């Protein structure tokens, strides 16, 4: 009986892992400014694209990697045969309970192809931080020698911040509001004292607007009523210090987040 239960548990565990589907974003193939999507937040791309995670709730985040056919290293352009990451240990900085898999499973992405890396798992209560800075280590295999790189890094500068919220703050069926909030940005960004938040919504209703610092401390909260179409409202930085902050809109269906920079 124990052997039967063990076999059933093994099959169920394997099926659960196989059920984690890595979703490719083909727009990375036509994005001349990036080789990986979501793009990391940077001075030239001030958008926060990673889904939030919550303690005790399943998490999924796909990364699409467009492998070029050549690579410029120290001023020399080299032909590429493949890019790869280790099947374990290539991701660092993630919350306890989060791991990754690749498609293809060996984590070797041939030149000229679109690869996929999936972050998945369930963050545990052992996590004590609110914000995690993720790094993926990879190797570019050229015709002459392997070249180690990191994401974010020289070929994808910026930062990958993953926000970990308390249990119950994520919706297991939807981690963001991209189906309802089709566009959100603030202008100017960076800004001094005030910035205008512009939201393109396909629904009408009340949302929570929140601002967090980089360690996940909530500094501002207010209710915003959105109408279908273009909406605008003003955020005043008050006494907030210069620096980088996350802001989000959320309702019972999920949350969408972006990054704002205060620079007086």
Tens digits of residue pLDDT in 206-230:
988 988 876 667 789 899 999 999 9
Please report the pLDDT score of residue 24 as a whole number.
80
In angstroms, the Cα distances linking 32 to 27, 81, 139, 156, 186 are 10, 20, 21, 12, 24
Same domain, yes or no: 246 and 160: no
Task: Give the mean pLDDT of the chain.
Answer: 81
Angle at 133 between CA 69 and CA 70, to 5 degrees: 10
Same domain, yes or no: 70 and 103: yes
Instruction: Answer yes or no: is 56 within a domain.
Output: yes
Same domain, yes or no: 61 and 151: yes
Q: 141: domain CATH number?
A: 2.60.40
DSSP 13: H
Same domain, yes or no: 118 and 207: no
pLDDT class of 175 with cuts at 50, 70, 90: very low
- Report strand pairing: 205-212 vs 218-226: antiparallel
Q: 188: domain CATH number?
A: 2.60.40.1930
Please report the pLDDT score of residue 172 as a whole number.
42
Same domain, yes or no: 112 and 64: yes
Stretch among 24-38, 113-127, 163-177, 179-193 having the lowest mean pLDDT: 163-177
What total of structural domains would you count in the chain? 2
Same domain, yes or no: 130 and 203: no
Instruction: Answer yes or no: is 28 within a domain.
Output: no
Instruction: Answer yes or no: is 173 within a domain.
Output: no
Same domain, yes or no: 42 and 108: yes
What is the rounded CA–CA span in Å between residue 120 and residue 101? 8
Instruction: Answer yes or no: is 72 within a domain.
Output: yes
Instruction: Answer yes or no: is 150 within a domain.
Output: yes
Instruction: Answer yes or no: is 42 within a domain.
Output: yes
Same domain, yes or no: 43 and 135: yes
Among 113, 140, 165, the domain boundary falls at: 165
Among 109, 141, 165, the domain boundary falls at: 165
Beta carbons within 8 Å of 64's beta carbon, 6+ residues apart: 24, 25, 26, 28, 36, 37, 114, 115, 116
Please report the pLDDT score of residue 198 as a whole number.
93
The residue segments making up the domain with residue 55 are: 36-165
Same domain, yes or no: 188 and 160: no
From 258, 114, 130, 108, select the one nearest 187 (Cα to Cα): 258
Q: Report the pLDDT averaged over residues 142-163.
A: 86
- Report strand pairing: 131-142 vs 181-187: unpaired
Among 135, 165, 195, the domain boundary falls at: 165
pLDDT class of 20 with cuts at 50, 70, 90: low
What is the rounded CA–CA span in Å between residue 211 and residue 260? 9
Instruction: Answer yes or no: is 176 within a domain.
Output: no
Same domain, yes or no: 128 and 86: yes
Inter-residue contact 20 to 58 (CB < 8 Å): no
Instruction: Answer yes or no: is 12 within a domain.
Output: no
Dihedral sign, Cα of residue 239, residue 242, residue 245, residue 248: positive
Same domain, yes or no: 43 and 159: yes
Same domain, yes or no: 43 and 138: yes
């Amino acid at each position: 009986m124990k052997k039967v239960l063990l076999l059933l548990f093994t099959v169920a565990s394997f099926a659960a892992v196989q059920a984690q589907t890595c979703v490719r974003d083909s727009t990375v193939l036509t994005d001349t400014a990036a080789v990986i999507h979501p793009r990391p937040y940077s001075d030239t791309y001030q958008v926060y694209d990673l889904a939030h995670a919550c303690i005790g709730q399943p998490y999924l985040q796909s990364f699409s990697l467009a492998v070029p056919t050549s690579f410029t290293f120290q001023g020399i352009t080299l032909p590429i045969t493949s890019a790869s990451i280790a099947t374990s240990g290539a991701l660092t900085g993630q919350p306890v309970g989060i791991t990754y898999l690749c498609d293809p499973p060996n984590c070797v992405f041939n030149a000229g192809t679109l690869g996929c890396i999936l972050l998945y798992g369930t963050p545990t209560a052992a996590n004590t931080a609110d914000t995690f800075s993720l790094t993926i280590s990879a190797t570019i295999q050229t015709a002459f020698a392997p070249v180690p790189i990191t994401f974010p890094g020289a070929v994808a500068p910026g930062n990958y911040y993953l926000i970990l919220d308390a249990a119950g703050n994520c919706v297991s069926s939807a981690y963001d509001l991209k189906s309802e909030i089709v566009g959100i940005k603030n202008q100017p960004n960076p800004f001094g004292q005030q910035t205008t938040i512009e939201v393109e919504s396909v629904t009408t209703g009340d949302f929570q607007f929140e601002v967090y610092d980089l360690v996940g401390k909530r500094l501002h909260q207010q209710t915003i009523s959105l109408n279908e179409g273009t909406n605008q409202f003003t955020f005043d930085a008050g006494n907030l210090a210069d620096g980088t902050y996350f802001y989000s809109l959320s309702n019972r269906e999920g949350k969408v987040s972006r990054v704002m920079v205060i620079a007086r």
